Amino acid sequence: MPDRYLESQVYPLPQDIARLIGAGEFDLALKLIARRLREPLPAALRARLEAEQKLLPCLPHTYTLSHEDLLRELQERVKDFTAQELDELLLNGKLDFIYINGERRYFNRMASSLIKSQPQLKKRTVSQGVDSNTLNSMIQRMKEGDVVFRYRLQAEVKFDASLAGKTCRVHLPLAARSMQQEAATDVECSLPILHVDPEDAPQRTAYIETDGASFTLSYTVTQRAKYIDPLDESIHTILYPDALPVSPEDLIEQPPHLTFTPYIKALAEELRGEETDPVRVAWRFYDYITKNVIYSFMPPYRIMPSGAEYVAVNLRGDCGMQTLLFMALCRVSGIPARWQSGLAAEPGDVGSHDWAEFYSERLGWLPVDCSYGGGANRVENEIRRRFYFGNLTITA
């Protein structure tokens, strides 16, 4: 999608079109958009309508569950779940839904979001996730001194038979150098690697060409996990001296998801209060997010409104959306903050993950993981919640 479409998402839609979309009358809304686009329009409004024309048809494929569908799935996955419990979740603002042709339709991962974010439901499911004691032990080891983690990743790429004999150009993710991580080593591929991005590339990949034959790529990742208590004002140590320096981009708006809306400004001002120390201001933002925002799987970001404001208003979001809110609050308060993304690896679980970094003169760049901190808050583990302000476990 062109950048102008993404940036246009912060612009309002014409009122008649917005009302039709809110009522779930998508077909009529699309007809109005098509007719409006035949008229002379300012470039910004034209981009907004063209973007909506492409994104609106995606919504029915994302919000697929009827009330009965969601209830049935929850009753299959949660012991003794009742219709009354679902009604209560709706009244408490825990459900993500839209209207399509007059019918309420829920986000297709709604059940998984509820089980992940609501402890009373998670306790009644078969799978309980990662053992908290294992994570606590890992954190304690880091507090006692730097801990080295080393693990090996492998990817296998397969192609459809119709591509046999055709040149296929592949860019595979490759671990980059970051705060507590060395760049990938011992890289092995069953085909020649034609190009590897620099160690600190924002989205590092290895480039491979194939005639449609399958191949494998593997490499080793080494991390040296460090511990710090940022709220200990006696510490004046740059924990990660090799981190990339602060840039002007670390303080600006980045539409559509990172914008300094009036509500974001008001929330930041309220949370800051009279505090001026950047570390303690950042802590106040983290403290608020981890105690008030529930984890929720999100639809594709491209079909969502401003991510930071969405989380601030609805008090729910996944790891990336929570990261956007933390970054927006920091940046609007003059604290440099930036996005980080990669893999998170824990005992029994490996998956994609997002977190933030913020900067202070006293400590330099430090990581902040609002999502994991909120997860610790849900299970009432204050040690873990405080840990993820300034520290990470294993990420790649």
- For the chain, 396 residues long, the average pLDDT of each consecutive 10-residue run is 82 95 96 97 95 94 96 95 96 94 94 92 74 72 85 90 93 89 92 94 92 94 90 95 93 94 97 97 98 94 90 96 98 97 71 93 97 93 95 70
pTM, full prediction: 0.86
Domain ranges of the chain: 3-62, 67-122, 147-224, 234-387
Distance separating alpha carbons of residues 89 and 93, to the nearest angstrom = 6
* Number of Cβ atoms within 10 Å of the Cβ of 61: 11
Helix (H) or strand (E) holding 224: strand 215-225
Give dist(CA 136, CA 140) in Å, integer.
Answer: 6
CA 246 vs. chain centroid, Å, equals 22
Query: Residue 238 in 3-state DSSP?
Result: coil
Other beta carbons within 10 angstroms of residue 125's beta carbon come to 15
234-387 CATH fold: C8orf32 fold (3.10.620)
Mode of pairing for the β-strands spanning 147-157 and 215-225: antiparallel
Q: Residue 73: which residues within 8 A CB-CB, separation 6 or more?
A: 65, 111
Q: Distance between CA 178 and CA 264 in Å, rounded? A: 29
**Sheet strand arrangement including 364-368:** 337-346, 349-360, 364-368
Q: Tokens 């974001």 label which residue?
A: 264
Residue 394 neighbours by CB under 8 Å, 6+ apart? 149, 151, 223, 225, 344, 345, 346
The token duo for 302 is: 């491209």
pLDDT tens digit sequence for 18-70:
999 999 999 999 999 999 999 999 999 999 999 999 999 999 999 999 999 99
Q: What is the pLDDT at residue 282?
A: 98
Q: Which residues are within 8 A (CB) of 109 and not within 5 positions of it... i.e. 6 or more apart?
A: 297
Closest to 356 (Cα-Cα) out of 344, 370, 343:
370
> Are 95 and 59 spatial neighbours (Cβ–Cβ below 8 Å)?
no
pLDDT of residue 396: 45
Q: What is the token pair recorded at 144?
A: 């006692």
